[in-house]
Amino acid sequence: MKSLILFFVLLWTSATIAQVEILDDQDGLDDEIQGYSSVIPYPFYAEDKENINKMMIIESGSMALQARIDLIRRAQKSIDVEYFIYNTDMAGKIITRELIEAAKRGVKVRILVDHSLPIFKLDEYYAQALAKFGIEVKYYNTAPLIRISTVQFRNHRKLLLIDDTEVITGGRNIGDEYFNLSKKFNFNDRDLHVTGPVVKVMKDSFESFFNHKISKRAAKPSFTEFSGEKESERVERMKVFNANLSKAEKFLQETPEELAAREKTKEISDSVMKNKRWHDCKHTTYSTDAPGANFFSRLNPRYDMKYRFLRKTLFDKISAIDKAILISSPYMLHNKHSKKLLKDLRKKNVDVTIYTNSLASTDAIYVAANLYLDLFRWRRQGINIYLHDGNWSGVEEGVDESIMNAKWGTHDKTQIYDTSTYSELMVGTYNIDNRSNFYNTEMAMFCRGNDELVDEARHYISKQKTQGITINPDGTATDREGERKSIYGTNRRGLLVMKLITLPSWLLKFLL
């Protein structure tokens, strides 16, 4: 009986969310047209035309890790850390131990991690171990899974910020796969290293998230004895409790494997860094969503106006394009918002190019199932489509031979806008999917007025997309050598799995 009741609760919840989604699709664009970015309050939006903000693009996974290490070591007053995923693997170990060393020298260190239970790793045992060094850990949205609606509202923002002066933001979370440390699966990704007045705005937006009531301080783990509990059960629970404490303490200890990973990362990063440069950005825009949304706020007709800020800025930026747009996103899942934007762009004869994951390279097969339902229609509409094929592209510099044969996917969230008068670069956390549009809090940095910066990102994406799968106008696909290839880029088993979940993936599209 309980299972039946739970089933109907879940069904009702999904139906309610779906109904809200439909209403939002019908009315959301009208809200945005009335609002635009001018209605976004501080510190969730800032446009800077008066000052020079400096930016460096970071493509290399090894350089991205070393840049974070160097940033933490430069901190003198404060370090603010905010990520959707913070894994307790080698990358997490290296970053965490650097944060501890900073705390030891008197730097104020704060960490905000999303509490999405399917991927959550930095639990209260690690938080207690870090608290001994004065590091404060908070979790965003700790709602239990049984609150099936509210748990959908995740914090997808990503930043590492020091002293209100420097920040690294972009697509990368904290995990081996984002820094070329995994022999099984790695992501191509992109960060921006930013200095200048805009960093203060980003710091203030971090404060709004860290101090919001939805962000809970990590509780101190403790062992509780229950009356009537068998001695054997108590002993077993005590073993688990002590094992978790020991695991967290061990995570903070230096190991030979860590030293080797650090040495290799530094060696590769130093080589790549020689070819990197800083760019001046004369017209900088920063935009982010607001914290605190939940199921009940989603039902409010003014939900978009109170929480969904970044997509208003994206609407402003994309609506102004009259030449070309290049979109690099790990997921491509359209709703009525993005469909209308693309339709309007094609009416203006804007060249639209999309680079995303194929079935062979994605970490979300349920999204791929929806992608392939739309792919051929997009191509008939004249949209240029390129898919990552799951292999190392050969584009990134300094990749260690030990990981070249791993599976690879793209994870960067980049858009390039070309108009008759300017080009503009966007690097952020925003995916082209319903989660980024309606549920996850996202952030993005935009730079206009420096064509060299824009062209650096454009050059990398253009090289990368031609090393994967090209979708031809007739619906066929070719690989990097120009040979015919499966549009799915994978074996029959992978295709069969995707086909089996296509219907449920389509039904749950509003949550993907």
Last residue of a domain, one of 273, 291, 309: 273
CATH code for the domain in which residue 164 is found: 3.30.870.10
Last residue of a domain, one of 246, 273, 300: 273
Mean pLDDT value across residues 312-326: 95
Query: Does 5 score more than 50 pLDDT?
Result: no
Last residue of a domain, one of 219, 253, 273: 273
The structure's pTM equals 0.92
Q: Distance (Å, rounded) from C-alpha 290 to C-alpha 292?
A: 7
- The verdict on 234 and 299 lying in the same domain is no
The answer to whether residue 429 sits within a structural domain is: yes
- The verdict on 311 and 177 lying in the same domain is no
The answer to whether residue 126 sits within a structural domain is: yes
- The verdict on 219 and 338 lying in the same domain is no
Query: Does 3 score more than 50 pLDDT?
Result: no
Query: Does 451 score more than 50 pLDDT?
Result: yes
For the record, the structure tokens of 100 come out as: 């501890």
The answer to whether residue 107 sits within a structural domain is: yes
Percent of the chain scoring above 70 in pLDDT = 93
The answer to whether residue 6 sits within a structural domain is: no
- The verdict on 413 and 481 lying in the same domain is yes
Residue 512 confidence (pLDDT): 64
Query: Does 254 score more than 80 pLDDT?
Result: yes
Q: What one-character-per-residue DSSP string does 169-201 give?
A: EES--BSGGGTT--SSEEEE--EEEEESTHHHH
The average confidence (pLDDT) of the chain is: 90
Mean pLDDT value across residues 262-280: 95
Strand ordering across the sheet containing 45-48:
45-48, 283-288, 443-448, 423-428, 414-418, 324-328, 351-357, 384-388, 469-471, 477-478
Residue 100 confidence (pLDDT): 98
Query: Does 350 score more than 70 pLDDT?
Result: yes
User: Which amino acid would we find at residue 457?
Assistant: A
Residue 425 confidence (pLDDT): 98
pLDDT in tens, 389-429: 999 988 888 888 889 999 999 999 999 999 999 999 999 99
- The verdict on 368 and 473 lying in the same domain is yes
Axis-axis angle for helices 90-104, 124-131 (nearest 10): 30
pLDDT in tens, 136-164: 999 999 998 888 888 999 999 999 999 99
- The verdict on 266 and 338 lying in the same domain is no
- The verdict on 245 and 308 lying in the same domain is no
Q: Distance (Å, rounded) from C-alpha 501 to C-alpha 498?
A: 5
pLDDT in tens, 171-225: 999 999 999 999 999 999 999 999 999 999 999 999 999 999 999 999 999 888 7
For the record, the structure tokens of 294 come out as: 């939940």
Q: Which of 62-66, 174-178, 237-241, 279-283 has the lowest mean pLDDT?
A: 237-241
The answer to whether residue 27 sits within a structural domain is: yes
Residue 497 confidence (pLDDT): 83
Residue written as tokens 């974070």? 68
Percent of the chain scoring above 90 in pLDDT = 70
Query: Does 8 score more than 70 pLDDT?
Result: no
| 471: Cα within 13 Å, side-chain hemisphere | 26
Q: What one-character-per-residue DSSP string does 53-89 give?
A: EEEEEE--HHHHHHHHHHHHHH-SSEEEEEES-B-SS
Q: Which of 27-36, 243-252, 341-350, 468-477 has the lowest mean pLDDT?
A: 27-36
Mean pLDDT value across residues 226-241: 86
Residue 24 confidence (pLDDT): 45
The answer to whether residue 64 sits within a structural domain is: yes
- The verdict on 264 and 299 lying in the same domain is no
Residue 99 confidence (pLDDT): 98
Range 337-369 burial, b when 16+ CB lie within 10 A, else e? bbeebbeebeeeebebbbbbbbbbbbebbbbbb
- The verdict on 134 and 232 lying in the same domain is yes
Which residue from 141, 74, 149, 150 is spatially nearest to 112, judged by alpha carbons? 141
- The verdict on 38 and 156 lying in the same domain is no
**Which residues, other chains included, contact 348 with Cβ-Cβ below 8 Å and sequence gap of 6+?**
321, 322
Residue 145 confidence (pLDDT): 83
Query: Does 52 score more than 60 pLDDT?
Result: yes
The answer to whether residue 122 sits within a structural domain is: yes
- The verdict on 268 and 284 lying in the same domain is no
- Higher confidence at residue 233 or residue 42? 42
Report the DSSP beta bridge partners of residue 445. 286, 427
| Domains of the chain: total | 2
The answer to whether residue 1 sits within a structural domain is: no
Q: Residue 324 sits in which domain range?
A: 16-43+280-511
- The verdict on 267 and 305 lying in the same domain is no
pLDDT band at 14 (very low <50, low <70, confident <90, very high): very low
Query: Does 126 score more than 90 pLDDT?
Result: yes
| 185: Cα within 13 Å, side-chain hemisphere | 9
Which residue from 331, 317, 391, 395 is spatially nearest to 45, judged by alpha carbons? 317
